[in-house]
Amino acid sequence: MGAAQFDALIVAWKYKYDFKRPAPYQVDNSLIPALPKQALPSYPSEDAVIAEVSLGILRVMFPNDTTYLKEKAAELKNTRLWAGMNTQDDIDAGSAIGKQVAAKFINDRAKKDNMGKAISTIAVTDSLATLAELKYGWRWRSLESPVRPGMLPKFGDVKPWCIPDVATVRPGPPPAPGTPEFIADVNEIKDFTANPTSETRRIANFWADGPSTSTPPGHWNAIASDLILKYQMNPIRSARTMAYMNMAIQDAGISCWDTKYYYNGLRPSNAISDFRTLIGVPNFPGYISGHSTFSAAGAEVLAYIFPNETASVNQFAQDASNSRIYGGIHFRVDCKVGLETGKKVAEYAINIAKADGSE
């Protein structure tokens, strides 16, 4: 959705400065707007653009909420009339742009990105595990009872936004069981789970982002929103931030899930007898950590856009990564390589951003 919003606003900005229509209160001095005046041309309405492009994407992703989404889109557009900021023509033009851009993203992207094939059967999960076992000698096994397929085993085949392909950013295999590196990771995680501190518990729970939450990508959208507000970005700069960050985060997820099922890396619960975690164990392979990969990608893009925030966003990413070790569900190598992979993925999005003409 972020990419669609950004594209739609690029179109809107072109026509704003092609037509340079003044706002209603600039034409009629008797109109007193309910919101702060601005120098931005009013045609087409950027709020209507965002309302319609967002509606067009979200109603496909959440079809059961279509009525609610329509109400919210209409409400946003009406506020511009009620506040005296736009005419109905401004809003209609913005709506038309938003609808067209949303349709293009749905038809040219969402319907053709292979997401429909990402969910699969136990047979597919088992076949991927068997391939990894034959090649590397280990086998991740679901802890679910009854056993279910691992989550999204073919998500690594989804079409990425910025990286050329998953093989380009795929890391090498994790250390094999019995190696000094593996034993060190086992001992570390045993110590963390046997001797948790209030701080490690806090970090593990704060970044858990499990079912019924906004998940790690949503968590990073909240961080980005706070920074957008802090730096008072205009609408198109805000959309640009969300677009590049979310494209990087999705590419991070795609590359992470490719790696997970390519290597079928063990989780601590697979490798350590009678091991108890502090948080729930996800139903997919351990190597590499999704939290680490998502978070490094998000932090890297935000550090590029908000350079003064580099230290803070990198610390957020490190905390998110460490949280999985503290919770007992990832080895150190899963998290370390996840961070490295997320940064590598983000560089592709950043390079595109540097060349988009906005700087």
At 113 the three-state DSSP class reads: coil
Kindly state whether residue 276 falls inside one of the protein's structural domains.
yes
Question: What is the arithmetic mean of pLDDT over 205-210?
Answer: 94
Give the domain-ending residue among 66, 91, 112.
112
Cβ-based neighbour number of residue 245 at 10 Å: 27
CATH of the domain at 88: 1.20.144.10
Model pLDDT for residues 191-207, shown as the tens digit of each residue: 999 999 999 999 999 99
pLDDT at 359 (0 to 100): 81
Q: Share the mean pLDDT of the chain.
A: 97
Give the domain-ending residue among 89, 112, 135.
112
Give the chain's domain count. Answer: 2
Please classify residue 82 by burial: count the beta carbons closer than 10 Å to its beta carbon, then call 0-12 exposed, 13-18 middle and 19+ buried: exposed
Same structural domain for residues 185 and 307?
yes
Same structural domain for residues 298 and 224?
yes
Rounded Cα–Cα distance for residues 72 and 78 (Å): 10
Same structural domain for residues 173 and 281?
yes
pLDDT at 50 (0 to 100): 98
Give the domain-ending residue among 79, 112, 145.
112
Report whether 285 contacts 140 (CB < 8 A). Answer: yes
Kindly state whether residue 49 falls inside one of the protein's structural domains.
yes
Same structural domain for residues 22 and 127?
no
Same structural domain for residues 77 and 137?
no
pLDDT at 257 (0 to 100): 98
Same structural domain for residues 18 and 154?
no
Q: Which of 21, 59, 27, 58 is nearest to 40 (CA)?
A: 21
List phi, psi (to 5°) of 280: -65, 150
Same structural domain for residues 49 and 173?
no
Question: What is the arithmetic mean of pLDDT over 318-337?
Answer: 98
Rounded Cα–Cα distance for residues 359 and 220 (Å): 23
Q: How confident is residue 211, by pLDDT bands cut at 50, 70 and 90? A: confident
Same structural domain for residues 138 and 33?
no
Same structural domain for residues 66 and 137?
no
Kindly state whether residue 187 falls inside one of the protein's structural domains.
yes
Structural domain boundaries, residue 159: 119-354
CATH of the domain at 299: 1.10.606.20
In one-letter notation, the amino acid at residue 229 is: L
Kindly state whether residue 359 falls inside one of the protein's structural domains.
no
